[in-house]
Structure 1
Amino acid sequence: MEITVIKLPVQKRFPLTISRGTTAKTTNLWIKLEQEGIEGWGEAVPFSIGGESKQDTELLQKQVREIIPILKCFKPTARSSIQAKLKEAKVSSAICSAIDVACYDWLGKRAGLPLWEILGLDINQTVPISVTVGISSPEEGKKRLENWQTVTTGNRIKVKLGNPDGLEADQKLFQTLYQNSPNSEFTIDANGGWTLDQAITMSHWLADYNVAYLEQPLSVREDEKLPTLAKHSPLPIFADESCFTSEDIPRLMALNVDGINIKLMKAGSLTEVLRMAYTAQSCGLKVMYGCYSDSSLGNTAMAHLGSLADYLDLDSHLNLKDDPFCGAVLNNGYLQPNSSPGLGVTYNAANGGTSGGDFTL
């Protein structure tokens, strides 16, 4: 099969600040597979969970150059063999994900069926997405919320907390958002920005509001403290940065976590996303899907599997100025894939992008 890589910086309409810093733009890679005149598309998005664990654009470009010759002899239907080769080559999860999604997209187009139908899923059995408000001043947070309310009629709001300025800053932001949308359901994501004592304090303070759960309240280096937090917190605890694949789920369950955040870039494939969702459900854990700076391509792929999730945080593409793809449509707060074959996404070259000639075989 022929493989082409397109590199494109994507800019956020509103920079997103979390406990570890602010992101205004990223440079994503889009991978196109071609076989029998059919194209399959996938996306690799750089991300970091803090510390040494970082998959940046430079690393992704280097790896994709190295693995293209390895994949040349495969057909897009050979997903298991392709993933085995990528694992052997120690390729990053973001690149593995892009290639796997492209294979699924190709398969759906070859079969003439949308991905959700191939997998036997029901896109009508899904939940509304949430929209994200980053760490900011109360005034900036209010403006961001008001902007989101012009985009979607949904009532699920994720608030990023863990402000380096302390709990008082977190509380002021949250109170402002709650006062301006008291009937919404809130979720809180600290991105590992709290200490154990801070997390316990905030869990009790937030319990008086419409908060569904606390996501990654502690650093990944403090997972051993999760049982203590779970014992004292009146709110459920979800893991994000501490959970990459299904192999992490039994460990997290033993640490009394109540749910996990599955992200395509961390999981490394749609196959692994499915495995994680089913494993979590069998362990009695809640499932949420998240994203980084994913375009409509990545979020549409996850939306096809939306019926397996309890919470969907798939809003990143709605905050991009220059999304090169068009796919799932936001309808009354629901992100709905269409019935076109494969992922049902189309690429708009007019939005820019630099074709990586060095990558083409």
Structure 2
Amino acid sequence: MKLIVKEYILKLKHTFTISRESIDVQPSLIVELQSNGISGYGEATSNPYYNITVPMMMADLNNLRPIIEACENETPEEFWQLIHPYLKQNMFALCALDLAYTDLYARKKGKKLYEYWNYTTDNNPLTDYTIGIASIEKMVSKMKELPWPIYKIKLGTHEDIAIVTELRKHTDAIFRIDANCGWGIEETINNAVELKKLGVEFLEQPMKADNWEAHREVFKYSVLPIIADESCIIEEDVAKCHNHFHGVNIKLVKCGGLTPGKRMIEQAKQLGLKTMVGCMTESSVGISAIAHLLPQLDYVDMDGALLLAEDIANGVTIKEGKIYYAEGNGTGVTLK
């Protein structure tokens, strides 16, 4: 098996702002694994919040090149268990590698990934489309630019209720709110009351990740469901979220790929938590991997490639929230 790693700089259509940062480009690592004329692809984007850069990911994978390239017939689960001890400190790199290996494995079996997992896609959820923080006028403009059935609205400003009130005047779409750790306890509880009136479905990670007492308080009193994101990074975090959140948003990049992501989904279901998978502004390489988990999810946020000025790959296509799988096996990804 041959390992190929390459950095891409993904240019965004618009400046993307959340409560803690703004970006115009997104550096991304693409991993390709080749075996017997077949290629599998994986992706992980850089992230300053988690202190992860593409050069760091590339260095860690190149250091493991002899071990990675010696693998051939292991199942994705066996491969992940083999590599995990070496990449415990860089789950982003592990994610890109796991996606590529899982994709390659399914292609070698001659199956789409969801077929390999024996999933049926009849009741897949629709994906939301994210509106980043900007002036109210700009946020309305971005929403009108792409009519959509579900919007995720980034908040964490001094005029959050005013923003949603104005956006509501222009659409009947479902709203989801992501404050990216930008609120406090009373603010969250009070905002939930007003936002419920405005047709909001749930709140995602309103408070700081490690403030578990605050999460417990809001869990008890919020009139809207609360979904964990920054509080749910790896497999061990799912159990912590029980009785502190109503659901978990699992990011493949943060947890180390599809293999642990599937286990986290199963654990969340056993605990009665709602299941969601989110993206980290990936291209269609990462987004297409997420698509094959849809049959197991209540919600999904896989609009990353839609936010790009130019995609680097072909894979799943998304129209008005509905996901259409690519023709090929595995994740169906091809690089442009």
Q: Distance in 2 between matches of 1:32 and 1:332?
A: 30
Q: Distance in 1 between matches of 2:211 and 2:74?
A: 41
Task: Give CA deviations for 1:93-123 in whole Å, capped at 9, x if unaligned.
Answer: 1111111111111112211111110001112
Percent identity over the alignment is: 30
- Decide which of 59, 62, 78 is 2:59's aligned counterpart: 62
Partner AA of 2:165 in structure 1: Q
- 1:322 Cα deviation (Å)? 2.4
Aligned residues: 335
Residue 122 (structure 1) aligns with: 120
Q: Distance in 2 between matches of 1:70 and 1:248?
A: 29
Residue 230 (structure 1) aligns with: 219
Residue 133 (structure 1) aligns with: 131
Q: Which piece of structure 1 moves more, 86-95 or 205-214? A: 86-95
Task: Give CA deviations for 1:25-63 in whole Å, capped at 9, x if unaligned.
Answer: 121111111111211111121124x4xx32222321221
Residue 155 (structure 2) aligns with: 161
Change (3 A) 1:78 1:308: closer
- 1:69 Cα deviation (Å)? 2.5
| Alpha-carbon contact 2:318-2:324 (below 8 Å) kept | yes
Is 1:187 the counterpart of 2:176 in the alignment?
Answer: yes
Partner AA of 2:23 in structure 1: T
**TM-score normalized by structure 2?**
0.95
Partner AA of 1:250 in structure 2: A
Structure 2 regions of 5+ residues with no counterpart?
none
- Decide which of 277, 288, 291 is 1:300's aligned counterpart: 288
Residue 282 (structure 1) aligns with: 270
Is 1:326 the counterpart of 2:314 in the alignment?
Answer: yes
Q: Distance in 2 between matches of 1:115 and 1:219?
A: 35
Task: Give CA deviations for 1:287-307 in whole Å, capped at 9, x if unaligned.
Answer: 111111211111111111101
- Decide which of 243, 249, 268 is 2:238's aligned counterpart: 249
Alignment RMSD: 1.5
- 1:284 Cα deviation (Å)? 0.8
Q: Distance in 2 between matches of 1:325 and 1:77?
A: 27
Structure 1 regions of 5+ residues with no counterpart?
349-361
- Decide which of 210, 220, 223 is 2:199's aligned counterpart: 210
Q: Distance in 2 between matches of 1:171 and 1:109?
A: 47
Q: Which piece of structure 1 moves more, 55-64 or 290-299? A: 55-64
Q: Counterpart of 1:7 in 2: which secondary structure?
A: strand
- 1:344 Cα deviation (Å)? 0.7
Residue 23 (structure 1) aligns with: 23
Partner AA of 1:5 in structure 2: V
- 1:346 Cα deviation (Å)? 1.1
Partner AA of 1:305 in structure 2: L
Residue 12 (structure 1) aligns with: 12
| Alpha-carbon contact 2:149-2:320 (below 8 Å) kept | no
Q: Distance in 1 between matches of 2:75 and 2:296?
A: 25
| Alpha-carbon contact 1:96-1:269 (below 8 Å) kept | yes
- 1:80 Cα deviation (Å)? 3.5
- 1:124 Cα deviation (Å)? 2.5
Residue 358 (structure 1) aligns with: none
Q: Distance in 1 between matches of 2:78 and 2:299?
A: 32
**TM-score normalized by structure 1?**
0.89
Is 1:72 the counterpart of 2:69 in the alignment?
Answer: yes
| Alpha-carbon contact 1:125-1:307 (below 8 Å) kept | yes
Task: Give CA deviations for 1:106-156 in whole Å, capped at 9, x if unaligned.
Answer: 11221111111000111222011100111111100011101122xxxx411
- 1:339 Cα deviation (Å)? 4.2
| Alpha-carbon contact 2:5-2:58 (below 8 Å) kept | no
Q: Distance in 2 between matches of 1:63 and 1:285?
A: 34
| Alpha-carbon contact 2:225-2:246 (below 8 Å) kept | yes
| Alpha-carbon contact 2:41-2:99 (below 8 Å) kept | yes
